Structure 1
Amino acid sequence: MASPAVDDYLKTIYHHTEWQSEHITPSQLALELGLAPSSVTEMVQKLAAQGLVTHRPYGPVSLTPAGERRAAEVVRRHRLIETWLVQEYGYAWDEVHDEAEVLEHTVSDRLLDGIDARLGRPAFDPHGDAIPDAAGSVHREPFVLLADAAPGHRGRVLRVSDRNPAVLRGLDDAGVRPGTEVTVQDAAALVVDGATLDLPEGAAQAVWLSA
């Protein structure tokens, strides 16, 4: 079942549990993919038959080891391409997601390895998401979502969700990117180098800090 549709399902399931522990439900999967629940149920059954996911009726969906490996391959492609577009072609970090969605299904393994080498084997993409290595392994340090961080918490921005381009642009304008050292004032403001920065609406659910 080598197809972009299968890869998109596996990538979505993989991504759902990267920054929180709850497994995705079929209804959440349908919402994420913009598909009818009946279509998602049918595909999940096919993926289960292929040994790529485990699922029980009305329960959550999780990846099997085989599904995890395949999902990591797709995620690796996507994030290397995003990094390549930013570093080599001057794309902004809010512009690369849709381009990578197309290219991840067409770039050959040889070209992908060349891109990886050209970029110096990066461990993270422009948004701070970990790029799986060729074996599918990733490293993430302990983290906390900004919305859950206590006032006064000091940490480094680890990751910014690429779900909302407007939030990415607002954070970029404020000078908040992965690697920025911050102190939490509250969920709507961070202190950076002694200056208080007001964050765009939605940032509290889009920024992860080192714990």
Structure 2
Amino acid sequence: MSHSLLVTRPNFDLTTRYISAWAKKVIDFAKEKGVKVFDLDRARANRKEFESMVKRNNPAIIFLNGHGDYDVVDGQDNETLVRAGENEKMLCAKVVYALSCRSGKILGPSSIERGAEAYIGYTEDFIFLYDDEKRTRPEQDKTVEMFLEPSNQVVVSLLKNHTPMEACNNAKRAFSKRIGKLLTSNSTDLGGAAVKYLIWDRHNLVCCKKDG
């Protein structure tokens, strides 16, 4: 199965700087596999361009990065890209992964009701830790890697032709692997906090799909 991938990558604060940088790793992987990628980076991650790109190119997979809430995922400068009850119908027949806080709670199920094939996201806040010394080089941050590498496994798995549920479970296993490594290593304050938040992220990662 050939894929096309649309990625939104707002980049205007610390959180979006990090997730945008790590989403680039998924983009690079997709291109290596010959996948056609539509990258809405920075100012291009706005609602008008997002809706236009979805309609014009009909991507099989949509990877949303940005701030959000239970019923919404935002783009650059917190401009709404998708909101339940407004425009989630545009996700019809798509597989969506939202690296965004909370949207798996309401927007995910609402998207399925409007025809999305699957919506993978988080029912509460997605929390990650980072190394303050790597703020300007987030792609080199080994602390944030503990969180964003498992997250990336969702889209990596989809690009390897795994089902949405398999992709979600692969990411959960990647979180578990990170947790296991920390629990068997010398305990540190950072390690203890990381375990807590890795467990939190794993617990709140859900896959909404047509057959429940």
For the criterion TM > 0.5, the same-fold answer is no
| Bigger RCO of structures 1 and 2 (CA < 8 A, at least 6 apart) | 2
Work out which of the two has the higher radius of gyration on C-alpha atoms and give 1 or 2: 1
TM-score normalized by the length of structure 2: 0.27
TM-score where L is the length of structure 1: 0.27
| Structure (1/2) with the larger helix percentage | 2
